[in-house]
Structure formats: structure tokens, C-alpha cells
Amino acid sequence: MKRTHHCGELRSSDAGTRVVLNGWVHRRRDLGGLIFIDLRDREGITQLVVDPAATAAEQVNTAQLLHDEWVIAARGTVRQRPGTMVNPQLATGEIEVVVEALDVLNRAAPMPFHLDDTTVAEDIRLRYRYLEIRRSAIARNLRLRHRVAKLVRDFLDALGFVEIETPILSKSTPEGARDYLVPSRVHPGAFYALPQAPQQYKQLLMVAGIERYFQIARCFRDEDLRADRQPEFTQVDIEMSFVDQADVLSVSERMLAHIAREILDVEVPTPFPRLSYTEAMNRYGSDKPDVRFGLELADLSGALQKSSFRVFRRVLDTGGCVKAISPQGLSTASRRTLDAWAGEVAGFGAKGLASLRVETDGSVGGQAAKFLSEDEKRDILGITAAAPGDLILIVADTPKVVHAALGHLRRVIARDQGLISPDRFAFVWVVDFPLLEFDDENNRYVAVHHPFTSPRIEDVPFLDSTPEKVRAQAYDVVLNGVEIGGGSIRIHDPGMQARMFERLGISAEESEDRFGHLLTALKLGAPPHGGIALGFDRLVMLLAGAESIRDVIAFPKTTRAACLMTGSPAPVDAHQLEELHIRCTTGVDADSQ
RNA sequence: GGGGGUGUAGCUCAAUUUGGUUAGAGCACCGGCCUGUCACGCCGGUGGUUGCGGGUUCGAGUCCCGUCGCUCCCGCCA
């Protein structure tokens, strides 16, 4: 029985048509004589009626055997339902199919969990991921993901971009995230690395004269997971020749606005707002600010420079800062709420959360008021622009801790107070990132973005004297407080690239060993170039309104980087290890060796 | 590596507060009844290593120690 229609498409205008439907038994209601079957396929649900008056006895017997999720084919005639029996909950609710023949294509054992129950423990759903996809929002997300991928391809194709695949078996580089390694059988003791990004390949494609490249590329990073981080994830990787930063930003934001328009029917104005890294940190305490709401940070350091409050004074005397956010109308927040917020900031290293209340008469009360002079209180009111009824929450610490703590707290309060309208999509560019930062642990400078990022030309003179002041031609695109992409204009001058490696403390020998192919290529006619990589999973997650990128990935891994469905990773035969010249020192294999 | 949440029947939960009879309910499953249901209904039944290991106790799902899974966050993620 070949299917003629999907389960979501029949309407009363189809009454009288003979149809064949295929699908899964969504639900069976056996009334003794009459049997109703909700038949489901990926497009919808249609009610079948097995009526002894219209259906052969043998087929009725078959219908009595059916259980949830059996796979069947049914032939019958579409019939308009009598008025009182129309089901307005169902797109096909005005009709039903009177069954004349029924084939069981496959039986199904009882389901291990209720497929419609969204509260089922995640490990059980992951073990039977195909069942979760069958009925949950995941299938809808995967189809959305497909549409976004197609929009990306069509958009970039129209602009002359060429989609090119780059190797998955790649080479380990010393900078960046921990690599996934693949042992080589034919080169004992040597390893491939899975790419953290196709970074070097795409630069080499620019040297190759491709000019406009893109790839929907799988990337691998062996770091600990989060709701928005998987060990393998997908980037929309883009690189262009003969461009400057403005060109890359323009192509990127036009593509993102196009996607928002097509997927969400939302018109996002371009160009997106630009914020410098410094401004983002100062105003939002984050390099990926959620700009859907205010609650910006106010700097109280100047006003409290001479404060007699020892907590603030000590921080300011040792190079720290004191900043505040002032949520409106929360002056009556309970002690319990304040404690909960103090707990939130404690996770970022803040030792406390001081609070002030602006009373209805404009006076300043609250837990920290007694430590402050009248002048200081007046200055704080001026800087924060807090009004009667507002609350002022203050953190004093190193800038890093203050920004992290208040940056987090403003998001928590905005979410709890409903300050975020769910249908807003606020894109923002963060630009002028520092090129380098000092790594205390290794006692050297490391690249904030990556070692191929070009400094701003006017800052190059400071590369040796004050490296942390050099700004990069690097940019991140942020959507609703989630970093969805980043890129840079690359170094195309071999001398500058060598100087960067030197600045990063990578010796000439090591840079030749690790990046020799790139340095050589830069000497052989490399055009100026730059690009961007968009986090495809995160983008689709936000478009889908999902809370984790697991919800937009067909077969995701757990926070321990395991696949509960297939059981990967798993031990392998001693024979396989031997071929690969590998011996395990710990773990499940070690004992047998 | 660190902190939080969580784990009782195939699934979702109750019993844990204050240790005390045979660990209950709904759904699923099995058997029976039912011709207009759409979460169909009604009657009956099966089903438990309370994640795992150890300890305290006359007695542990409940208290203690360890450990494992899932999850959220910090570190980490050029």
C-alpha cells in the first residue's frame, strides 16, 4: 500500500477520496465495536475509524492488536465528520478516514517512556534519542536548522562565495583549546588533530585565490561542556580577500538580518549597533552584553575614592573598582532576595553585595548606608540616577570580578523581573578587542582571539612597550547576550606574523614547526583577508527559542562528553590499539595490558 | 579541578520532615467489558537490587561515609 497523502493534509474538501496513509499509531481508542486510531506521520495526525460495518472482520481483528507506535499502512475513504464530532484541536479534525484495509508494517515493543512527556529524565531521553525526536520539539528544531542552513548557502552563493570542505584529519597546534587526537597507524607515535576550526585552511584558501569561501564546518574542542557547548559543534565559517573589517561586518549582519526575516518574520535593522570592548565591559560588565534591557553598570569608584568605608577603600587603594546596578522599584526587596543575589555574585568571586535603598522621601537607607557620608550618598544617587523606590546593588573588587559579578546579576534580575521581552532579537557587534592579554599562569602574553589576528595598524608601535593596549581588528557578534560569532582581519604580512609569534613567546623553531606552512604561504602572494565564524548551533538555538544547543543537535553528547545512545566513547580491542602503537596507562583497558 | 540540583516500578511522582507493619498512585503492560471516541470509559491483575558500595542501628528508601549517572554554573573553551 503506497501512501497517497500525509497525515496532516486532508480536509473536508477531500471527502469521498480514497487514500492510503502510512505512519505510527499515535493512540488507539477501542470502544469495543468501533475502534479509533490516531495515525501520525511527520506532517500531522489523522483519525482512522475501524467500523465493523465498513471494514472486513480480518482487518478489524488487526486493528484490535495495534499498540502505540506500531507502524501501519491504512487504506480507506475520507469522510466528513458529523458536526458534533469535529475535533477543533486537530488540523485534520473535520474529517476521518474510514478504514477498509490495514497492514502492520512493523510492530513496536512498549515504549521505554511516555513520548509526549517533556519531564522525562534527560539521560533516558538521550538513550532513546530517536524516540524523543519522533514526537518532541526536537524534530521541529532539526527542520528549522535545515532551513537556516539552506538560507546561509543560498545567501552566500548569491554573493559569490564558494563552499569548500577542509580536512577533518588535521594538525595539532599549541594555542587554543585542547585537541581531540587521532592516532596514525602508518606513522607510529604521530597524531592527527580534529580541527577546532578550519582557521588555517581557510586562510590558505585565500592565498589560493578563492577570494570568497564558506563552509558549514564541524569543529571539535576537548573542553568541559555547558548548555551552549558541545565537544563537536558547527560553525558557518566565512573568509574573504581584499576586505576590511567593515566589509566582513556588513556581509555578516546582512545575512543574519536575512535569516531573522525569513525564519522569524522579524525585521532587524542594519547596521547592527557597535560597541567597543571597553564600552561593553564598562556598561554591561560583559563582552557579550544582552542589550535587550538597561540595568547598566554605574562606576562609583570616583565618588568613593576617599570613603571611610574600609571595604570600598581597600579595594580602591589596590587598583580595584566599585560599581553598581540600580534596579527600579526594588527597594523593598526582601533580605532573602538580597541573600540570593549575593549568592549569585559569590560564584564569580565577589566577596559581598552591598545594597542601598532609595526611600520615598529620597533619603538613602539600606545595609550599606551607615558606612557612607551624606556627600557620598548624594554622589551615588547622581551617578546611578536612582529614583525613590529603587535599589542600588554594589560590588567592590578587581575590575574582572566586579564586571563578571554585576554582568551576571543584571541578567538574573532582568530575567526574574520580566524586563526581557521574549520576542526581541537584539544583535550587537563588539569591536576593538584587545589583541593580547597577560596569562598569569604561563607568565606570558597570549592572543585574545587567535595568533593570526591583525592588530590595528595605529596600535602596532605599542606591541613591544605596552602590549595589552594594542587593539585587534577583531569582532564578535552577540545576540541576546549569547556570543554567536567572531572573527578578525588576519595578518597577511609574513614579517608581522613572525613578530606575533615572537610576542607570544613562540620560538622561531617552534613557529616554523607548527605554522611553517602558513608562514611560507604568506610569503608567496597572500592577499589581505579576513573573515568570521558563526556558531551555527547557538544561532539555531536562539531562533528556535531553545535553552540548550542539545535541542538543535540530532544526537548530542552529555556534559561528560558521552553518547548515551551508542555508548561512545568506549574501549577498543587490544589488537586495534596495537596497530595504532598505543598503550593505555589508566582506564578500562590498562588492566589487560 | 570546584560548587549547586537530582536519582524510589518501564515512565512521572508519593512515602524521607520525626528511622518502625507488607514502599503506594497515575500512565504503560497483561486479562475482561464497551459502536462516536479524540488524554475514551469501566472491572481485575502483573510489576521494586529505593542508582551502586559500605557503615550506624533491634530495625534504613529515610541517618553517616564513599562512589556513579544526568544536569546548571565557576575554572577551562586561541
Predicted ipTM? 0.92
For residue range A371-399, what is the model confidence (pLDDT) as tens digits? 999 999 999 999 999 999 999 999 999 99
> Any idea what DSSP says for residue A589?
T
Residue at shortest CA–C1' distance from B38: A87
CA distance A303 to A321: 11
The separation, in Å, between residue A126 CA and nucleotide B61 C1' comes to 27
Nucleotide nearest to A38 (CA to C1'): B38
Residue at shortest CA–C1' distance from B2: A347
CA distances from A8 to A118, A134, A220, A263 (A): 23, 15, 39, 22
The separation, in Å, between residue A87 CA and nucleotide B34 C1' comes to 22
Nucleotide nearest to A126 (CA to C1'): B70
For residue range A518-555, what is the model confidence (pLDDT) as tens digits? 999 999 999 999 999 999 999 999 999 999 999 999 99
Pairing of strands A274-276, A427-431: parallel
Do you find a cis peptide bond into A494, omega within 30 degrees of 0?
no
The separation, in Å, between residue A101 CA and nucleotide B74 C1' comes to 61
The separation, in Å, between residue A53 CA and nucleotide B30 C1' comes to 29
The separation, in Å, between residue A546 CA and nucleotide B72 C1' comes to 15
Nucleotide nearest to A451 (CA to C1'): B78
Nucleotide nearest to A347 (CA to C1'): B74
Nucleotide nearest to A32 (CA to C1'): B34
Residue at shortest CA–C1' distance from B78: A176
With b for 16 or more beta-carbon neighbours within 10 A and e for fewer, the A194-231 pattern comes to bbbbbbbbbbbbbbeebbbbbbbbebbbeeebeebbbb
Q: Residue A49 is which amino acid? A: V
Is residue A535 within 8 Å of A485, Cβ to Cβ?
Answer: yes
Nucleotide nearest to A446 (CA to C1'): B78
Torsion of CA A63, A64, A65, A67, to 10 degrees: 80
Residue A593: its pLDDT value, please? 36
Do you find a cis peptide bond into A327, omega within 30 degrees of 0?
no
Residue A588: its pLDDT value, please? 52
C-alpha cell of A587? 582506564
Grid cell 527542520 in the structure block, residue:
A143
Nucleotide nearest to A90 (CA to C1'): B38
Pairing of strands A482-489, A529-535: antiparallel
Residue A585: its pLDDT value, please? 81
The separation, in Å, between residue A213 CA and nucleotide B63 C1' comes to 64
Extract the residue ranges of chain A whose pLDDT is less than 70.
587-593
Residue A135: its pLDDT value, please? 87
Is residue A118 within 8 Å of A57, Cβ to Cβ?
Answer: no
CA distances from A455 to A424, A459, A465, A469, A473 (A): 34, 7, 14, 10, 6
Nucleotide nearest to A349 (CA to C1'): B74
Residue A587: its pLDDT value, please? 61
Residue at shortest CA–C1' distance from B1: A224
The separation, in Å, between residue A264 CA and nucleotide B70 C1' comes to 33
With b for 16 or more beta-carbon neighbours within 10 A and e for fewer, the A351-384 pattern comes to ebbbbbbbeeeeebebebbeebeeebbebbbebb
Nucleotide nearest to A224 (CA to C1'): B76
Residue at shortest CA–C1' distance from B10: A112
CA distance A9 to A94: 11
Residues in CB range of A219: below 8 A, 6 or more apart: A195, A196, A197, A198, A232, A233, A234, A235
Which positions on chain B have an atom < 7 Å from some protein CB?
1-2, 10-13, 27-30, 33-41, 69-78
CA distances from A449 to A21, A250, A494 (A): 54, 20, 19
The separation, in Å, between residue A273 CA and nucleotide B26 C1' comes to 53
Residue A441: its pLDDT value, please? 78
CA A21 vs. chain centroid, Å, equals 38
Residue at shortest CA–C1' distance from B70: A123
In A80-195, which residue ranges form alpha helices assigned H by DSSP? 122-127, 129-135, 137-158
Neighbours of A105 (CB within 10 A): 12
Residue A70: its pLDDT value, please? 97
Residues in CB range of A347: below 8 A, 6 or more apart: A408
The separation, in Å, between residue A588 CA and nucleotide B22 C1' comes to 42
The separation, in Å, between residue A346 CA and nucleotide B65 C1' comes to 29
Residue A592: its pLDDT value, please? 41
What beta strand segments (E) does A503-583 contain?
A: 529-535
C-alpha cell of A259? 535569516
The separation, in Å, between residue A563 CA and nucleotide B39 C1' comes to 33
The separation, in Å, between residue A266 CA and nucleotide B55 C1' comes to 62
pTM here is 0.95
